[in-house]
A and B are shown apart, each in its own frame.
Chain A
């Protein structure tokens, strides 16, 4: 048992009647996962780590870039200069302000083949992703295992969040039976205000806190959306599963089975991600091999290789992000030429 009396760290939070000493003990014994550590994930991880959630897994497939610094509050210029994987940078930052909790970095793309090992044993899953493919995967896993998860997203000055309590509330597939294809805006077209995403994530973190301390009666059962620029706010009732929902009604989990999942995905405006097979790589060795072909730089976590007009980022598990093309065939051929087939 943690002796809270000896630790001033959480004293102001324990004074808050909704948490109290018992709530604080529950937080210390809690385990959560944050999937995606960009702007939303930074706020979720920062707030929940400071609040004293005992165990946090941070799963992210990407690395820090200068354009992230405007809103991704866990990262700094050094992280961007080193192209540090976000999960690694996040864990380092958190360790500097709360060394009394366990935070695990996972530099990985959440997929049907690794989702069980990455998410099992957690009590709440928080969504900091930037795509519906991963969200439907989380939804299938969470509904199948009766685990709560919280959807959060923001674009422009608009934010939205939904608590999914399987069997009790609507799930993601109840609310959005299929994912948007092309017609809607993304941050790369509409931009993003850091305050919009920060607010959405703060609300989601509060909901997670309520769940973890056992204040379930205060959990929001609506789809909440707001616009911080136009001062608009709307709540839509989501307090029951939709009859006939494929996921929470019929228990069909096509995303967990990997159906319709491409091995190569568009990733941002001008990048392609290749994750066709697990191919453990020695980045130092790869760096030597690539040196004659362009500019190369590596750390323990990531290798960057520039060959005009492309920029290839390689992770130790063999996953690569190729910038400079949106053509999967071009990306695949660059990968085959420089990394291997």
Chain B
């Protein structure tokens, strides 16, 4: 199992859970499992074409997965994934 840390602005879509345990061999699998468990989260993470939104950052432990193999990055038990959204603040 892998733990995904949900930032507080997105917790309204995960029944207020801060961390969600998911299954999968890659970052992409883990995120698919996450959105299968919490379907409301899907449109906040993915475009209509099913691509990860470019302003949603996904980190495996300390590394941005864009530096690694993106969604194909392999994960192992005990890894931590974090999602970091971009925030504008104010009125935007």
- Chain A interface (Cβ within 8 Å of chain B)? 36, 38-40, 129-132, 152-160, 175-181, 183-188, 190, 192, 197, 223, 225, 227, 229-230, 232, 234, 236-237, 242-243, 267-269
- Give the residue name and chain of the B residue nearest to A237 (CB): B62
* Chain A proximity of B80: nearest CB distance (Å): 10
A175 touches B90 (CB 8 A): no
Which of A40, A178, A223, A234 makes the CB contact (< 8 A) with B55?
A178
Inter-chain CA distance A178–B9, complex, in Å, is 19
- Give the residue name and chain of the A residue nearest to B63 (CB): A237
Whether a CB of chain A sits under 8 angstroms from the CB of B38 is no
Which of A159, A242, A269 makes the CB contact (< 8 A) with B91?
A269
- Which chain A positions have C-beta within 8 A of B66? 242
- Give the residue name and chain of the A residue nearest to B55 (CB): A180
A155 touches B9 (CB 8 A): yes
Q: Would you give 19 A-B contacts (Cβ < 8 Å), ordered by A?
A: A40-B90, A129-B89, A129-B90, A130-B89, A153-B87, A158-B7, A180-B86, A184-B9, A184-B85, A186-B90, A187-B89, A223-B84, A227-B7, A234-B7, A237-B62, A242-B66, A242-B67, A243-B67, A267-B91
A232 touches B18 (CB 8 A): yes
Chain A to chain B: the 7 pairs with minimum beta-carbon distance, closest first: A130-B90, A153-B89, A268-B91, A227-B8, A178-B54, A153-B87, A180-B55
Interface hub of A40, A188, A190, A237 (most chain B Cβ within 10 A): A237
A132 touches B92 (CB 8 A): yes
A179 touches B86 (CB 8 A): yes
A185 touches B62 (CB 8 A): no
B92 touches A186 (CB 8 A): yes
Which of B67, B84, B89, B92 makes the CB contact (< 8 A) with A234?
B84
* Chain A proximity of B15: nearest CB distance (Å): 14
- Which chain B positions have C-beta within 8 A of A160? 84, 87
- Which chain B positions have C-beta within 8 A of A242? 64, 66-67
Whether a CB of chain A sits under 8 angstroms from the CB of B37 is no
- Which chain B positions have C-beta within 8 A of A131? 88, 90-92
Which of B55, B62, B64, B87 makes the CB contact (< 8 A) with A155?
B87
- Which chain A positions have C-beta within 8 A of B7? 158, 225, 227, 232, 234
Chain B 14-42 interface 0/1 with A at a Cβ cutoff of 8 Å (1 = within): 00001000000000000000000000000
Inter-chain CA distance A318–B82, complex, in Å, is 45
Inter-chain CA distance A223–B58, complex, in Å, is 13
* Chain A proximity of B16: nearest CB distance (Å): 9
* Chain A proximity of B90: nearest CB distance (Å): 2
A183 touches B53 (CB 8 A): yes
* Chain B proximity of A233: nearest CB distance (Å): 10
- Give the residue name and chain of the B residue nearest to A161 (CB): B87
Inter-chain CA distance A232–B7, complex, in Å, is 9
- Which chain B positions have C-beta within 8 A of A178? 54-55
Whether a CB of chain A sits under 8 angstroms from the CB of B57 is yes
Whether a CB of chain A sits under 8 angstroms from the CB of B76 is no
A186 touches B57 (CB 8 A): no
* Chain A proximity of B19: nearest CB distance (Å): 10
**Given A131-B90, A232-B8, A237-B62, 12 more pairs with CB closer than 8 A:** A36-B90, A130-B92, A156-B8, A177-B55, A178-B54, A183-B53, A184-B86, A187-B89, A227-B8, A234-B82, A242-B66, A268-B91
- Give the residue name and chain of the A residue nearest to B57 (CB): A175
- Which chain B positions have C-beta within 8 A of A237? 62-63
Whether a CB of chain A sits under 8 angstroms from the CB of B5 is yes
Inter-chain CA distance A192–B88, complex, in Å, is 12
B90 touches A38 (CB 8 A): yes
A179 touches B55 (CB 8 A): yes
B8 touches A230 (CB 8 A): yes
- Which chain A positions have C-beta within 8 A of B82? 234, 236
Interface hub of A156, A178, A184 (most chain B Cβ within 10 A): A184
- Which chain B positions have C-beta within 8 A of A268? 91
- Which chain B positions have C-beta within 8 A of A156? 8-9
* Chain B proximity of A228: nearest CB distance (Å): 10
